[in-house]
Each structure stands twice: as C-alpha cells, then as structure tokens.
Structure 1
C-alpha cells in the first residue's frame, strides 16, 4: 500500500505540503461488480449491456470530452460524502480523477437508478441558481443527461460558492441501480469537463480555500471498510508513505496523464519498451490497456476466459509472475495478490484478473489506465 498510494501523488503540482490539510474520509464498499457476481448476475449483466469483457474494445477518444468508459465504475470501491445547497443536501460520490464534472441525481429524474439514490431538490436550497444549459455524458452503456445548475458545494468544511454541477434527469438502464454511490465528483483538468464547467478543485484554488494547490489520496486495504482512507485537499500526509515521493510530470492536461517507462511481467519487459502513455484514475479498481496487449498479459499470468471475463486459479497465486510498472525510473511492482480480485461465490473463492482491455485512442496512441483502488487484502 505504501507504494500504491504514490501512483496518484506523483501527479501533484511540485511544491511543499505546508499549510492546513483538509481531510475527506473515504469509505470502502463492495464494488458493483462484486455484488453482481455474488448474486450470480454478472455474466447476465455483460450480456444485457452487449458487453464482452474479454474482447472489450470500445473506443474512447480524448477529443470527445463527454465520453466516459462507464465500465470502470463497476469496480469502484471507495466513496466519500459531499453536500450541495443551503441547508445542505448530502450525497455519496466517487472522487474521480478520470473525469472533471460533478453530477448528482435530480429530483426530476424518473430513471430506476434515481429512485434508489439520493436526489437533489433545487427548491429546497436557498443558494441555488438555475443555469439551464443541458449536459450529457456518453457512457459505454448509455448516456447520462440532465441540466446544469449552480449552488454551494461543501466537502468536509470547504465550501465552494457558485459551483456549477450536473443534475441528472436520465441515467442509463440498470447500470447505476445497485451502485453504492449517488454521483461523481471529477478531479480531472478543466479541459476534460463537459460544458466548459470549472471543476470543484479548480474553484477551491480560485476561491483560496486551500493553502497549497495540491490534493492527494490514500486508500487503505483495511478489510473493515478501508478504515483510514482519505482524500486530502491542500497537501499530503507524510505518515501515509515511507521514503521519498517520485514526482512525475503530467504529459497532457486532460486526464492526469503521465509517461510509463516500461511494463515488465516476471522480470521481462513485455510492453512499452520504448515508453508509452498512461492515466492515473481513482475511478476504477482495474488496470486497463490496449485489448491486444491485455490479451497477451492475461496469457502471461495464466488467466483464462470465464463468464465474459478473465479468471485465475486462486491456488496458483504463489507461482504467478509479478507485474512491474516503471514510472520516471522507479519500479512499482504488483504481486499477484495485488493485481487479482478476490470474491466469494457460493462460499467458494473466485479470483479474477484485475487487468482489462479498453481502447482509448488519443492522437499520440493508446493509453493505459492505472486504477488506484486495485487493492485487496488476503489472509
């Protein structure tokens, strides 16, 4: 865990983390993927959404800022609480570095997913103002759409005034019905935001709410709800890591995009031998890459197709190879217990691969996604 947390910290602006730290507790819940698998509904979900996770090749392009690979959110496990309006209305959200918009369900939403989540009532807020412009985010399984409003948004004592956010009126199919979160708070760059909306953290900086223009994330693998996990605005906590930080330049300001030096499997460089690009994403527990490369990686770790995804024999973990991502000259090694996901189906252990094919094609070539919350505790 001490090394995994650095994957996000390397993205932060260079500087010293002095000043007041604003801590947002994060709670860990079973991911939607785990819930569906435990109920024996996961393979049916893939079929109902016309998705085959073994051959998942949906193309997401960087110049279509409204395009989000929704499948990532099936694997999100860490959530926090924010409030919108005055008096405050509370929502459970994903703090997502892979997108830049804030959205929550609207009281006017009639989709099934909205009925199972907290909805925003603009008429109950004294500080709300209607912007009225429409927004739409295209996901792999449908589009989430609604209108833009503005209100104060509070995150653990930090209150942003005049924050524009999406009020979803339609949400795609059954995808969000069982999700543990109400909405998403994007932490990506403004260029990625739908509708030209200024992201929450950028407004925090503009309104001088943080002493240092920096945020960090610590995700604990504690089995009891990820105790101690937190998002920190205004710096980072030295107690969450050992050694020195590995500062890595952002190569493109949209997603938090960085350069990968190489990817080794079992000590042998298999991918990115000449370097490649990756984005760091708190909105997923997976590590994704070009489908053809991921297929080779699955074969190298001994993963086999099963029910629309890749699985490994739990008893083989001790002989499976390590996978190492080298970033700015520093190797980050994932052992098999870190890159596989442990579930229990009918009382039996089920181990699935934490790697998945996803075709994101910006002009410079395909991207890898480094999912920060790929953390499992094994006993």
Structure 2
C-alpha cells in the first residue's frame, strides 16, 4: 500500500540528530583502477565456497552482503573518552562491531605465558583475566586488521565487561568478523557535537579476527541499522537501544550525495536520526509497507530499462552498504544487452559504452521511480565504463533485488520503524 505524506505535516516528538557521511572510493573501483580486481575475484569466490562448506550452527550467516562496493562511511566514537572509528552505516544488518585492539596488535607480552594459554587454563590460572579475551597471536604482514584503529577497553572509563563472556561470529558473503561482546557508550558522530546521538550502555562486538576482504581499506567496522530480529548473538542494535531509551523517535532519513565513483574524502551526505531531513528532502514522501521487517524489504511491482519492460513483482531491499544495484542475473543480462553492454566474467562487471544513456525505471507502491544515468554509469577510465549493477543468483527466499546507492542517491530514503514502512522523497 502506498501512503503519501507532506513533509511539513510530519511532526516528531523527540530530538533529532545527524551523522555526516564521508565519500570514499569503493574497494571494487580502486582495485579495478589498480589492476588487482580480477585476482581478488578469484580469492573471493574461493573464500565464499570455503565459508559455505565450513559453516555450522554456531556461525551466523549473513548471505547477501559484501562491503567491497561501499562508498560512504561515517565517524562514530565509542567509550569515554571517545575512540573514533569510520564505519559503514548499514541498513542490511543490525550489529555494531569494530576491531578490538587485540586484532590490531596481537596478544600482549604479559599474556604470552603458559598460565594464560587460551581456554579454561587462562580462566583459572592467569593473573590478568583480560588475557583470556585475546584470541590471536602477534599480527603478521597479512593481518587484515593491520593499519586499522583498534578499540582499547582499558582506556575507557565507561566500559563494562559482559559476564559471563559472550561471543559473536558473523559470516558475510566474502568474509567474516568474530570476537566477543562489550558494553560502552556509543556516539553516532563526533564527541562533544550537539548533533551527535549518544547512547549509553550499548552492546557491541569487539572483533579479534576479521576476514581478508576488510584489509587495506578504510572500513573500520559495521554499524547495522536493521531491525532487532536481524541482530546476531541476541543483542539490541544501537539505534534500537536509543529508541528504547526514548532518545529519538523510531525514524531515520538517509541522504547520499552524487559525487562520482572516484571521489574521496568529500562530504557525502548524512543520516538523520529521530525525524526527517527537512533540508534535503522534498515536500512529498511516498511510503510503502515493509513485507519483512527484519531488512528494509518491500515489494517492487515492475521494472524497465531501455527496450526491456517486466511486470512480475519482486521482494527488494534498500541497502546503504553497497554502491551497486543487485539485479537478478537473468534480468541484469537483458539490461546490459538492451544498452549494448556485456558481462565481463573475469571482473564480474557489466561493461557498457561510456555514451550509453542507461536509465532504470521501477514501480513501487504504484508509483514510478527513475534512476538517471549519472547514478548508473561508472567510468573506469576515459574509454571504459560499467553499469552500477551486479548479478544476484536466486536462492528462493529473501530479497531478490538490492537497491543500493544509485537508488538512494536519486531518492531520499525515510525509514519508519514504528509503522514498518519506508518512504521515498525527491531531493530538494
């Protein structure tokens, strides 16, 4: 069902906070530019096969998402005083995790004694019980945490250990993060800024190991903005905790700037918590019901691109964690063909002539939404371009499409957790 509301008529009771976004070049685009993407694709596919074959009931699979296409990061701070991390604000997951200091620096010298060996020996005999949290040896040159910021709980006066100790492990499409849970103050932005949402007593993951795909990029953790039921290890997501504490109303707005795939370090937009982004949203918002309030998932009735037009009905999600549109493989192939493009299997991209006027039109809640060429055609170099589209294999359940940054740049996304709806507004 479609709901139309005017921005001026939407009143919220709580405070409104905002987190700025920073635009980065996605790992995919950077590696394509450097000529290392094809090799990464081989490793990625081998890793994906390994993760599937080795999975067991203690591992929580997160099957849809990779973060190699992330283009927007936000700064958060954890602890007192605050320790800063640039994280992905991800509507497709619901956990917050950051690298622990252990992941970055390895086991401390004081922990490298037999009475502090991992397991029961450590719990019983080790004088320094913090050693029992160490889960990796000294990092080597290939450690994915190398160069990242690590959280040091000993430097935070507001940190609280969780007893008995609880662990988490999240498996992504091409990687993983695992470690233990801690409790501290989380700020959605800079410490001391009156626009920063501050959430005391937040449970978050302290990763002691992360997968290779997180290496050599500026991603320093994931902050999930999905629903409580999607969270792993039974934790309350940070934003949901803020809502439970009545710090904000259960609504947030996403605004992403269109800056080009290679832009780095620029102002990339903002997430607004507790209300609407009245500065960047147009007056009319069209809301649709969520079909599965775990993800931000809803129905799309029809799709067209070039001479292609399909009216079938699909489950789709809005996902802030990817810079591409996830499209069912058969449809993606037809889209590329419609614009004279083709699939490059080695690079797993759809190439297209740089002058192609690629546009997508989608029908959601009976209303048409057009994504313009500027948000869909990415330039590899002056003579080579690609469509911001990646093929998705059908697995028979869950979302069939992923509406990533091309859609979110075109339309402001308003996430209403009280009414289980999502709204779309033209930019101002």
Q: TM-score range by the shorter chain?
A: 0.7 to 0.9
Q: Residue 5 of structure 1 corresponds to which residue in structure 2?
A: none
Alignment equivalent of 1:146, drawn from 179, 203, 209: 179
Q: How does 1:107-146 map to 2 (within 5 A)?
A: 107-109=101-103, 110=106, 112-131=143-162, 132-146=165-179
Cα deviation for residue 154 of structure 1 reads 1.1
Alignment equivalent of 2:348, drawn from 278, 293, 309: 309
When residues 325 and 230 of structure 1 are mapped into structure 2, their CA distance, relative to the original with a 3 A threshold, is same
When residues 72 and 301 of structure 1 are mapped into structure 2, their CA distance, relative to the original with a 3 A threshold, is farther
When residues 308 and 340 of structure 1 are mapped into structure 2, their CA distance, relative to the original with a 3 A threshold, is same
Q: Residue 227 of structure 1: SS of its match in structure 2?
A: strand
Cα deviation for residue 328 of structure 1 reads 0.9
Contact 2:159 2:183 in 1 (8 A): yes
Contact 2:187 2:198 in 1 (8 A): yes
Note the residue ranges of structure 1 that are not aligned, 5 or more in a row.
1-8
Cα deviation for residue 69 of structure 1 reads 4.6
Cα deviation digits, residues 148-185 of structure 1 (max 9, x gap): 11111112332211111111111112x11122120010
Alignment equivalent of 2:378, drawn from 335, 341, 352: 341
TM-score (norm 2): 0.74
When residues 64 and 17 of structure 1 are mapped into structure 2, their CA distance, relative to the original with a 3 A threshold, is farther
Cα deviation digits, residues 40-92 of structure 1 (max 9, x gap): 10111101223699xxxx99xxx999323576311111111111111111111
Q: Residue 337 of structure 2 corresponds to which residue in structure 1?
A: 299
Contact 1:305 1:311 in 2 (8 A): yes
Q: Residue 328 of structure 1 corresponds to which residue in structure 2?
A: 365
Q: Residue 66 of structure 2: SS of its match in structure 1?
A: helix
| More displaced stretch, 366-375 vs 230-239 | 366-375
| More displaced stretch, 333-342 vs 280-289 | 333-342
Contact 1:133 1:147 in 2 (8 A): yes
Cα deviation digits, residues 10-35 of structure 1 (max 9, x gap): 9xxx9534653211111101111111
Q: Residue 167 of structure 1 corresponds to which residue in structure 2?
A: 206
Contact 1:102 1:166 in 2 (8 A): yes
When residues 186 and 65 of structure 1 are mapped into structure 2, their CA distance, relative to the original with a 3 A threshold, is farther
- 2:232 and 2:75 mapped to 1: Cα distance? 22
Cα deviation for residue 236 of structure 1 reads 1.3
Contact 1:286 1:374 in 2 (8 A): no
Q: Residue 227 of structure 1 corresponds to which residue in structure 2?
A: 267
Q: Residue 423 of structure 2 corresponds to which residue in structure 1?
A: none
2:303 is equivalent to residue 263 of structure 1: yes
2:43 is equivalent to residue 48 of structure 1: yes
Cα deviation for residue 268 of structure 1 reads 4.5
- 2:374 and 2:102 mapped to 1: Cα distance? 44
- 1:269 and 1:32 mapped to 2: Cα distance? 32
Q: Residue 249 of structure 1 corresponds to which residue in structure 2?
A: 289
- 2:256 and 2:349 mapped to 1: Cα distance? 25
When residues 368 and 221 of structure 1 are mapped into structure 2, their CA distance, relative to the original with a 3 A threshold, is same
Q: Residue 215 of structure 1 corresponds to which residue in structure 2?
A: 252
Q: Residue 136 of structure 2 corresponds to which residue in structure 1?
A: none
- 1:263 and 1:294 mapped to 2: Cα distance? 11
Q: Residue 352 of structure 1 corresponds to which residue in structure 2?
A: 386
Q: Residue 132 of structure 2 corresponds to which residue in structure 1?
A: none
- 2:204 and 2:408 mapped to 1: Cα distance? 30
Q: Residue 315 of structure 1: SS of its match in structure 2?
A: coil
- 1:64 and 1:302 mapped to 2: Cα distance? 46
Note the residue ranges of structure 2 that are not aligned, 5 or more in a row.
107-138, 190-195, 411-428
Q: Residue 26 of structure 1 corresponds to which residue in structure 2?
A: 21
Contact 2:362 2:370 in 1 (8 A): yes
Q: Residue 4 of structure 1 corresponds to which residue in structure 2?
A: none
Alignment equivalent of 2:231, drawn from 168, 173, 193: 193
- 1:375 and 1:349 mapped to 2: Cα distance? 27
Cα deviation for residue 226 of structure 1 reads 4.6
What CA RMSD, in Å, does the superposition of the two structures yield over aligned residues? 3.0
Cα deviation digits, residues 176-198 of structure 1 (max 9, x gap): 11221200100000111111110
Contact 1:260 1:277 in 2 (8 A): yes
Contact 1:78 1:94 in 2 (8 A): yes
Contact 1:46 1:52 in 2 (8 A): no
Q: Residue 216 of structure 2 corresponds to which residue in structure 1?
A: 178
2:80 is equivalent to residue 91 of structure 1: no
Contact 1:215 1:235 in 2 (8 A): yes
- 1:274 and 1:311 mapped to 2: Cα distance? 23
Cα deviation for residue 228 of structure 1 reads 5.9
Q: Residue 372 of structure 1 corresponds to which residue in structure 2?
A: 405
